[in-house]
């Protein structure tokens, strides 16, 4: 099956979870969205809230606005489902088609790759924070050193100039 978009680009963050919208998941599994949702409804006990949830109207609107490939959802009467990684795998098992099973491997790998990217970004951000902290310490030390050296860098006052002319040593 030829995919027009990488699977990673179909994974969205909604309610703090990495999810795939039912229309995208159905497309990957080679079924209609209606077929996927019917299979899910027949097996609701396999889809707890941490596997799948229905978007609210605001979330649907935001998804349609931010994802051009989902603009066809704009006129859908029902609100779409969002599937987490575990829900996407479970969906493949309830569909029971060869394409769904083989594509579920790609879906799992996409979620894993996304987690690895997030972990790598977190490590980079931690290291940047350490560098920033060290630079602040160095800035403080350099400022302190500059303040101590500043008096030494000031020009020396001119020595008093000798007076010109006859000067007596004292009154006699």
Residue 82, pLDDT score: 93
Residue 167, pLDDT score: 72
Q: Answer yes or no: are the C-beta atoms of 14 and 82 closer than 8 Å.
A: yes
Tell me: pLDDT of 107 over 80: no
CATH number of 68's domain: 3.10.260
Rounded CA separation 113/109 (Å): 6
Cβ atoms within 10 A of the Cβ of 18, count? 16
In a domain, 171, yes or no: no
Model confidence over 7-61: pLDDT tens digits? 777 888 889 888 999 998 988 888 889 999 999 999 989 899 999 999 998 998 8
| Low-confidence winner among 30-34, 43-47, 74-78, 167-171 (lowest mean pLDDT) | 167-171
In a domain, 25, yes or no: yes
Residue 74, pLDDT score: 79
| Low-confidence winner among 3-7, 115-119, 155-159 (lowest mean pLDDT) | 3-7
- Prediction pTM value: 0.59
In a domain, 89, yes or no: yes
In a domain, 68, yes or no: yes
Q: What is the mean pLDDT of residues 113-129?
A: 82
In a domain, 170, yes or no: no
> Going edge to edge, which strands form the sheet with 17-21?
12-14, 17-21, 81-83, 52-54
Q: What is the mean pLDDT of residues 118-133?
A: 84
Split at pLDDT 50, 70, 90, the class of 4 is: low
In a domain, 85, yes or no: yes
Residue 21, pLDDT score: 93
Tell me: pLDDT of 134 over 70: yes
Q: Is the dihedral of CA 105, 110, 112, 116 positive or negative?
A: positive
Domain that holds residue 24: 8-115
In a domain, 78, yes or no: yes
Split at pLDDT 50, 70, 90, the class of 170 is: low
Residue 7, pLDDT score: 76
Query: Residue 9 corresponds to which tokens in the numbers above?
Result: 């680009």
Q: What is the mean pLDDT of residues 87-108?
A: 78
Rounded CA separation 123/101 (Å): 34
In a domain, 153, yes or no: no
Tell me: pLDDT of 2 over 70: no
Tell me: pLDDT of 91 over 60: yes
Instruction: Report the number of distinct structural domains present in the chain.
Output: 1
């Amino acid at each position: 099956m030829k995919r027009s978009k990488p699977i990673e680009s179909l994974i969205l963050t909604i309610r703090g979870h990495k999810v795939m919208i039912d229309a995208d998941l159905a497309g990957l599994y080679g079924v209609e969205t209606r077929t996927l949702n019917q299979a899910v409804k027949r097996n609701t006990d396999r889809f707890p809230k941490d596997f799948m949830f229905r978007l609210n109207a605001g979330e649907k609107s935001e998804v349609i606005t931010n994802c051009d490939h989902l603009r066809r959802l704009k006129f859908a009467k029902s609100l779409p489902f969002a599937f987490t990684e575990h829900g996407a795998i479970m969906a493949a098992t309830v569909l029971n088609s060869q394409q769904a099973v083989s594509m579920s491997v790609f879906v799992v790998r996409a979620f894993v790759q996304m987690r690895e990217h997030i972990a790598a970004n977190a490590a980079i951000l931690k290291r940047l924070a350490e560098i920033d902290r060290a630079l602040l310490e160095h800035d403080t030390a350099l400022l302190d050193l500059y303040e101590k050296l500043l008096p030494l860098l000031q020009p020396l006052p001119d020595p008093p100039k000798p007076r010109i002319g006859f000067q007596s040593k004292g009154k006699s």
